[in-house]
Every structure is written in structure tokens, then in C-alpha cells.
Amino acid sequence: MNVYIALFALASYLLGSVSTGLVLARLFYATDIRDGGSGNIGATNVVRLLGRRLGALTLLGDGLKGFLPVYVGAQLFADAGGSSDYIALSIFGLAAFLGHLFPVYIKFKGGKGVATAFGVFAFLAPAMLALVLVLFVIIVAISRYVSLGSLSAAALLPLLLIGYSYPLPVIGMGICMGLLIFIKHKDNIQRLLKGTENKLGFAQ
């Protein structure tokens, strides 16, 4: 691997490791969101504890953590023909995603990665992401389970990437992210199967 790609991947991971919700909660309320609600660092728990406005900012920040590494990487590591190196961009996107899931700054106990994954694909596959978001909205509107919408989106996106013949590194990254999102949602899946998952709320 090119040393510059490796260094940028490390920078992407470190950016992804910045826990937006944790930082905003401490900045505006001098509180630790891990001490309340579900104890999760994502927008879900921020909304539950501190309101929708700060939750929206957390969602935006977590999305930007995924978007910026691939966007900046595309500018820095474009090949001579002007097309982006999808292997490098997929490495950067996955590194930022893993940073959110396993942040080095807080003992590798991170969030579930949906917003950060969406940020990555907002740059690499915006049309596919738009279709996934439509599915997400429909499922949440019908079922009232946000976690079910997130899991459905994580399952559909790799299939769309395959169906529309996206570059193999992007497909591989999509599959990897989808699997990790499912693993991170294992408790939500159990509650969905038992019928005890919270409705009209974000995943715990």
C-alpha cells in the first residue's frame, strides 16, 4: 500500500473516532451522554437525552465523518486520467466507518455506524443512497421502527451496488459495512423478534 494512502487512511480513522454526540453534549450541556438513555454515543441517544436540535447536529457530524475522507481523498488521490482510485477511496471510507464503530479515543466503544456509512455513500453512490433512504422512510413510516429501517437500508445498499455494477472495492465496502451494522444492531434485532423494540424512537 502506498504510504500516503496508509497515512490518509489512518487520518480517516482518527476523524471517524471523533464522537460527535459526545463532544456536543459536553460542549453545550457539560454532560456525558453515555451516562443516560441507552448509553450509546450516536444521534439516537442524543435526541433521547438532549433534544432533536442537538441530535440533528450529531447526525450531520457523524455523516460528515464518512463523507469528508472520501471527498478529500478523491481530490488527493485521483489518477492521471482524472478518475478516482476506488480502492483507496473505499479504504478511506471504511477506515472512517470503523473509527465511528471502534473509536480509539473512548476505548473502542462507539456507535452503530449508519449515519457515517450514509456519509461515505453520499459521495461514492449518491443515487443508490437516495433509493435506500426512500426505503428507510417507507419502512419507518409503516412499522414505526427506526432500527428496522436502518437494518433494511444496510441490507439493500450492497444489493443495489451489485445490481448497478459499481466498482468491486465499493461493493466490498458496502457488504462489510452492512454486516457490521447488523452485528452492532444485534440487540435491536432480538427486540424486534420479541416485539419489544421501541417504536418511533431511534435504536437503543
Q: Residue 121 and residue 76: Cα distance in Å, rounded? A: 18
Q: What would the mean pLDDT of 99-111 be, rounded to a whole number?
A: 94
Instruction: Supply the pLDDT for residue 203.
Output: 41
Q: What's the pLDDT at 160?
A: 97
Q: Does position 162 have pLDDT exceeding 60, yes or no? A: yes
Delimit the domains of the chain by residue range: 3-194
Alpha-carbon span 173 to 90, nearest angstrom: 6
113-127 pLDDT per residue, tens = 999 999 999 999 999
Q: What is the mean pLDDT of residues 19-48?
A: 86
Q: Give the C-alpha separation, 75 to 58, whole Å.
A: 26
Mean pLDDT of 32-52: 82
Mind spelling out the 3-state secondary structure of 54-114?
HHHHHHHHHHHHHHHHHHHHHHHCECCCCCECHHHHHHHHHHHHHHHHCCHHHCCCCCCCH
Mean pLDDT of 98-109: 95
Higher pLDDT, 156 or 79: 156
Work out the pLDDT band at 49, boundaries 50, 70, 90: confident
| Cell numbers linked to 54 | 442537538
**Average pLDDT over every residue of 29-58:** 85
pLDDT of residue 79: 67
pLDDT at 190: 93
